Amino acid sequence: MAVNVVEIIDRSRMSAVQIRIVAICAAVLIVDGFDAQALGFAIPSMSKDWTVSPSAFTTAATVGVAGLLVGSLLVGALSDRWGRRPVTLVGLGVIVLTMFLTAGVTTMGWLIVLRFFTSVAVGALTPNLIALVSEYSPQRRRMFTVAIAISGFSLGGVIGGFLAAWLIPATHWRGVFVAGGILTLIVAIAMLVGVPESVRFLTMAGRQAAVGRIMARIDPLRPAQEGTFTLLEEKTARASVGALFQHGRGVVTGLIWLTFFMSLLVLYFGANWLPTILAGAGFTPTNALIGTSIFNIAMMIGALLSGLTADRLRRPAILVSAAFAGAFVVFAILPLFGGMPVLLLVALCVAGFFVQAGQASLAAFVGGLYPTSIRATGLGWGFGAGRVGSIVGPLVGGLLMAASFGAVTILSLLAIPAAVAALAVGAVGLRRRGTGAEVGAPGSDEGAVVVSDDATDGSTSLPRP
């Protein structure tokens, strides 16, 4: 008898092993958030130590963003071929090595090289871990668990700022990178010991015995030898970007990339220029930094609450679109708060809440758009498009400031990308209306991927519907 592993996960309670997987993946992303921003924390101390201007680190910071883009586009897809777990462990190993080496670097050239490879590994891990969390979460909790994982990256930046403020006076800038290497090693060990391979990937690879052991821990009441494990979803020939445009997925994929681009443009615009813009709006430098921290906290709250809400909706695209639409409205009315710094900050926190709510829910929503064989590829290229937006956002902000636009005017212009994101993801929801649940969900009309212990090459058979 065929047993659909997705159906078992969806109908079961969150078991201890699933909770542990989500917790460890979130911990990895917290540390990744710290590692990604470590150079930013260290630059003031490094510039004094090396007797150079902080602007001398521009190239090192830029290649860090480029590395995140390369990791999202290229390395994330490898997990669809080799598995989520080995790619994650290799990425963590690269980060441990490069962080420790960075602590001993003495030249700008080596700093640039090491930051690039650190960022490539960090960029690859994000879509991989989101795919893993998505595949181990029941559909009724999936948006929330993915939101928890995504919030980890932002939380890593918040915690890292406080940690760096304590470390740098005692150990100078090198302590930041040593701490990052140690923390990454700890979560790598936790990943090695506590997180199994994706059960969907194992099913598609024909590893029935391994699937059986994991499913017995997720659903202990199910007989251990009950039937053959299957996936009711399409199996693509190979994990490639071309597969994202096959079988009618082309328009949806393009709209998803556009949404990622616009949402991360807004987020990174704020991350890079918000303290400066708030100072221009009447805040003292200290209060501008505090306001930026409050803005980040509002974004994390938005991510978590959106996950809780989205799990109760049959059409999560509606929530994602509504969140970006809410951000559009708030950004558009910001000129009403000109000359009122406190109200301006409150409005910005509300806008940040909506943007991050949309971004977090978007990642979980996209995880359900693609079958297991290309899920990490789809997420990786989506985040890759977003990384392009994360580069464009700060550049646009710099150009607007150089053109002497007012602080409130600059912020209100963010209504444009927020509106585009809302329309794009709304169009995805309209295209998918009437198509049913995500691929692999109970009741899906996709063909069943059936694998057996005899499969040694990872191949599967796809019966006709």
- For the segment 289-302, what is each residue's pLDDT rounded down to a tens digit? 677 778 878 888 88
**Residues 197 and 312 both lie in one domain:** no
Q: How confident is the model at residue 92 (pLDDT cuts 50, 70, 90)?
A: very high
**Residues 186 and 247 both lie in one domain:** no
**Residues 126 and 41 both lie in one domain:** yes
What is the CATH number for 305?
A: 1.20.1250.20
What the block records as the tokens of 244 is 């994202």
What the block records as the tokens of 65 is 């963003």
Better pLDDT: 41 or 437: 41
454 lies in some domain: no
Bin 459: left if φ > 0, else alpha if -120 < ψ < 50, else beta: beta
- The CA distance from 449 to 211, in Å, is 14
164 lies in some domain: yes
440 lies in some domain: no
**Residues 160 and 265 both lie in one domain:** no
Q: How confident is the model at residue 433 (pLDDT cuts 50, 70, 90)?
A: low
For residue 125, pLDDT over 50 is answered with: yes
- Closest listed residue to residue 111, CA positions, set 45, 59, 165, 182: 59
Mean pLDDT of the chain: 80
- The CA distance from 173 to 171, in Å, is 7
**Residues 193 and 248 both lie in one domain:** no
**Residues 269 and 318 both lie in one domain:** yes
23 lies in some domain: yes
223 lies in some domain: no
Q: List the end-to-end C-alpha distance of the chain, in Å, as a whole number.
A: 17
- The CA distance from 93 to 187, in Å, is 10
Report in angstroms the alpha-carbon separations of 404 from 108, 280, 411: 33, 11, 13
In terms of average pLDDT, the best of 213-217, 282-286, 320-324, 384-388 is: 320-324
pLDDT for 91: 93
**Residues 190 and 332 both lie in one domain:** no
- Closest listed residue to residue 180, CA positions, set 32, 25, 23: 32
For residue 166, pLDDT over 60 is answered with: yes
**Residues 165 and 249 both lie in one domain:** no
| Domain limits for position 50 | 2-204
**Residues 199 and 248 both lie in one domain:** no
441 lies in some domain: no
- pTM of model > 0.85: no
Burial of 304 (0-12, 13-18, 19+ CB in 10 A): middle
Beta bridge partners, 231, equal 449
For residue 364, pLDDT over 60 is answered with: yes
- Closest listed residue to residue 307, CA positions, set 175, 463, 130: 130
For residue 218, pLDDT over 80 is answered with: yes
How many CA within 13 A on the CB side of residue 409? 6
- Closest listed residue to residue 149, CA positions, set 244, 252, 19, 49: 19
455 lies in some domain: no
Q: How confident is the model at residue 94 (pLDDT cuts 50, 70, 90)?
A: very high
Burial of 317 (0-12, 13-18, 19+ CB in 10 A): buried
313 lies in some domain: yes
**Residues 196 and 292 both lie in one domain:** no
pLDDT for 447: 36
Number of domains in the chain: 2
121-157 burial, b at 16+ Cβ within 10 Å, e below that, comes to bbbbbbbbbbbbbbbbbbbebbbbbbbbbbbbbbbbb
CA angle 66, 323, 362 (to 5 degrees): 45
**Residues 12 and 126 both lie in one domain:** yes
**Residues 36 and 117 both lie in one domain:** yes
- The CA distance from 60 to 322, in Å, is 37
What's the distance, CA 175 to chain centroid?
Answer: 27
Number of other residues whose CB lies within 10 A of the CB of residue 452: 12
Identity of the residue numbered 112: I
**Mean pLDDT score, 239-268:** 85
Better pLDDT: 461 or 221: 221
